[in-house]
Structure 1
Amino acid sequence: MRLLHTSDWHVGRTFHGTDLLDDQARALEQLAGLVAAHGVDVVLVAGDVYDRAVPNAGSVEVCTRALEQIRAAGAVIVATPGNHDSATRLGAAASFAAAGGLHLRTRTAELDVPVLLSDTHGEVAVYGLPFLEPDTARHALGEPGARSHADVLGVAMDRVRADLAARPGVRSVVLAHAFVVGGEATGSERTISVGGVETVPAGVFDGVDYVALGHLHSPQVLSERVRYSGSPLPYSFGERSHRKAVWLVDLGPHGLEQVQRVDLPVVRGLSQLTGPLPGLLADPAHTAAEDHYVSAVLTDPVRPLDAMRRLQVRFPHAVHLEWQRPGSAGALRYAEKVRGRSDAQVVDSFLTDVRGAPQAWESELVTEGLRAAEHAADRR
Structure 2
Amino acid sequence: MARFLHVADIHLGFDRYDNRVRGQDFFKAFYNLLEIYAVGERVDFVVIAGDLFEHRNIQPATLNQAQICLNLLKDAHIPVIAIEGNHDNRPYGTKTSWLRYLTTWGSLIFLEPDTQDDGSIVLSAWNKEERFGGYIDLECGIRIIGTHWYGAVAPQVIEHIASAITALPTWSGQTVALLHHGLEGHVSRYAGALRYEELLPLKQAGVDYLALGHIHKSYSVEHWIFNPGSIEANSIEESKYERGAYLVELKPHTLNARLCTGYYQRSIVRLHLKVKGHEVPEAISAAALKLVKKAIATQKIQPLDEPIVELRITGRIGFERADLDTRALQQMLQDESHALIFLLRYDVDTIHYQSPLTEAENQLDIETDVYADLIAGHARYGQHTHHLSKALCQLKDLHMQEESDTDLYQFVNQFLQDVTHEAG
User: In the alignment, is the contact (CA less than 8 A) between 2:269 and 2:308 conserved in 1?
Assistant: yes
**Cα deviations across residues 72-127 of structure 1 (Å, max 9, x unaligned)?**
23421001110111333134346534xx46101245437623112112xxx32111
Pair 1:325–1:181, CA change in 2 (3 A): closer
Q: Which residue of 1 aligns with 2:239?
A: 240
Aligned partner of residue 267 in structure 1, secondary structure = coil
The change in CA–CA distance for 1:16 and 1:204 in structure 2 (over 3 A counts) is farther
Please name the residue that 2:79 is paired with: 76
**DSSP-derived class of the 1:159 partner:** helix
Name the counterpart of 2:150. Answer: 132
Counterparts of 1:244-263 in structure 2 under 5 Å? 244-252=243-251, 254=252, 256-263=254-261
Which stretch has the larger CA shift, 110-119 or 294-303?
294-303
Return the alpha-carbon distance in structure 2 between the equivalents of residues 356 and 295 of structure 1.
28
Q: Counterparts of 1:356 and 1:116 in 2: how far apart (Å)? A: 74
How many residue pairs get matched?
Answer: 316
5 Å-filtered alignment, 1:7-26, equals 7-19=8-20, 20-26=22-28
Contact 2:4 2:38 in 1 (8 A): no
> What does the per-residue CA deviation read over 1:11-47, in whole Å, with 9 as the maximum and x for residues that have no partner?
1123433343221121111122121221111111100
Contact 2:9 2:213 in 1 (8 A): yes
Match of 1:142 in 2: none
Q: TM-score, normalised by structure 1?
A: 0.73
Aligned match of 1:273: 271
User: Are the aligned partners of 1:173 and 1:210 in contact in 2 as well (CA < 8 Å)?
Assistant: yes
1:230 is displaced (CA, Å) by 0.6
Residue 145 of structure 1: aligned partner = none
Tell me how far 1:210 sits from its aligned partner: 0.8
Do structure 1's residue 314 and structure 2's residue 336 form an aligned pair?
yes
- Once the two structures are superposed, the pairs formed by residues 119-198 of structure 1 within 5 Å of their partners are 119=140, 123-133=141-151, 148-163=153-168, 166-184=169-187, 197-198=192-193
Rounded Cα–Cα distance in structure 2 between residues aligned with 1:356 and 1:68: 63
**Contact kept in structure 2, 1:132 and 1:153, CA below 8 Å:** no
Residue pairs, 1:264-343, within 5 angstroms: 264-275=262-273, 276-283=284-291, 284-287=293-296, 288-289=300-301, 290=303, 291-298=306-313, 303-305=323-325, 306-315=328-337, 316-325=339-348, 328=351
Identity of aligned residues (%): 19
> In 2, distance between residues paired with 1:357 and 1:4?
63
Unaligned runs of 5+ residues in structure 1 are: 135-147, 330-344, 368-380
The answer to whether the 8 Å contact 1:125/1:170 transfers is yes
SS at match of 1:230: coil
Partners in 1 of 2:349 and 2:151 — Cα distance?
46
**In the alignment, is the contact (CA less than 8 A) between 1:230 and 1:246 conserved in 2?**
yes
* 2:50 paired with 1:47: yes
More deviation in 72-81 or 44-53? 72-81
Task: Verify the 8 A CA contact 2:9 2:52 in the aligned structure 1.
Answer: yes
Equivalent-residue separation in structure 1 for 2:219 and 2:351 (angstroms): 39
Shift of 1:51: 1.1
| TM-aligned CA distance change 1:153 to 1:356, over 3 Å | farther
* One-letter amino acid matched to 1:79: A
Aligned pairs for 1:195-206 (under 5 A) are: 197-201=192-196, 202-206=199-203
Which entry has the higher C-alpha Rg, 1 or 2? Answer: 2
Q: Shift of the alpha carbon at 1:309? A: 2.0
Secondary structure in 1 aligned to 2:217? coil
Whether the aligned pair in 2 keeps the contact of 1:243 and 1:264 (CA below 8 Å) is no
For structure 2, list consecutive stretches of 5 or more residues without a partner in the other structure. 91-95, 116-120, 124-133, 274-283, 353-369, 383-387, 397-424
What's the offset of the Cα at 1:198? Answer: 4.1
Q: Which of 86, 89, 94 does residue 86 from structure 1 map onto? A: 89
Is contact 1:90–1:106 with CA below 8 Å preserved after alignment? no
Residue 10 of structure 2 contacts residue 230 of structure 2 at CA under 8 Å; is this kept in 1? yes
Instruction: Give the Cα–Cα distance (whole angstroms) in 1 for the partners of residues 54 and 143 of structure 2.
Output: 28
1:96 has 2:96 as partner: no
Write the distance in 1 (CA, Å) between the matches of 2:381 and 2:163.
65
Q: Deviations over 1:115-141 (max 9, x none)?
A: 12112xxx321111121245xxxxxxx
Measured in 2, the distance between the counterparts of 1:83 and 1:151 equals: 18
Aligned partners of 1:244 and 1:264 also within 8 Å: no
Q: Distance in 2 between matches of 1:356 and 1:244?
A: 47
Tell me the TM-score normalized by structure 2: 0.66
1:92–1:257 distance in 2 versus 1, CA, 3 Å: closer
In the alignment, structure 1 residue 105 sits paired with structure 2 residue 105? no
CA RMSD of superposed structures (Å):
3.4
The CA distance in 2 between the partners of 1:171 and 1:318, in whole Å, is: 45
CA contact (8 A) 2:272 2:312 kept: yes
Amino acid at match of 2:272: T
Q: Decide whether the 8 Å contact of 1:108 with 1:132 is kept in 2.
A: no
Aligned-partner Cα distance in 1 for 2:346–2:104: 53
- Deviation per CA, 1:51-70: give whole Å up to 9, x if none: 11112222222122111123
